[in-house]
Amino acid sequence: MTEHLTHVTHPLVQHKLTLMRRKETSTAGFRQLLREISQLLAYEVTRNLPMTTERIETPLQPMDAPVLDGKKLVLVSILRAGNGLLDGILELIPSARVGFVGLYRDEETLQPVQYYFKVPQALEDRMVIAVDPMLATGNSSVAAIDLLKKAGATNIRFLCLLAAPEGIARMKEAHPDVPIVTAAIDERLNEQGYIVPGLGDAGDRMFGTK
Ligand code: URA
Mean pLDDT within 85-109: 91
Nearest to residue 120, comparing CAs of 51, 179, 72? 72
CA distance linking residue 48 with residue 35, whole number of Å: 22
Q: What is the pLDDT of residues 52-68, one digit of tens each?
A: 999 999 999 999 999 99
- pLDDT for 107 beyond 90: no
Task: Domain ranges for the chain, please list them.
Answer: 5-49+74-207
Binned at pLDDT 50, 70 and 90, residue 187 comes out as very high
Give CA torsion, residues 136, 138, 141, 144, to 10 deg: -140
Catalytic residue numbers, as ranges: 105, 109, 201, 204
Which CA distances in Å does 194 have to 35, 37, 168, 202?
A: 22, 21, 14, 10
- pTM for this one? 0.95
3-class SS of residue 162: strand
CA 77, CA 81: separation in Å to the nearest integer? 8
Ligand 1 mean position, distance from CA 136 (Å): 6
Instruction: Express each pLDDT in 22-38 by its tens digit.
Output: 999 999 999 999 999 99
Q: Is 2 a residue whose pLDDT tops 70?
A: no
Q: Which fold has domain 5-49+74-207?
A: Rossmann fold (3.40.50)
| CA nearest neighbour of 95 among 128, 72, 63 | 72
Question: Rounded distance, CA 118 to CA 124, Å?
Answer: 15
Residue nearest to ligand 1 atom 2, measured at CA: 201
Cα 34 to the center of its chain, rounded Å: 12
User: Which among 90, 179, 164 has a CA at the least distance from the CA of 134?
Assistant: 164
Span from the CA of 99 to the centroid of ligand 1 (angstroms): 21
Answer whether the bond into residue 94 is a cis peptide, omega within 30°: no
| Closest ligand 1 atom, residue 194 Cα | 6
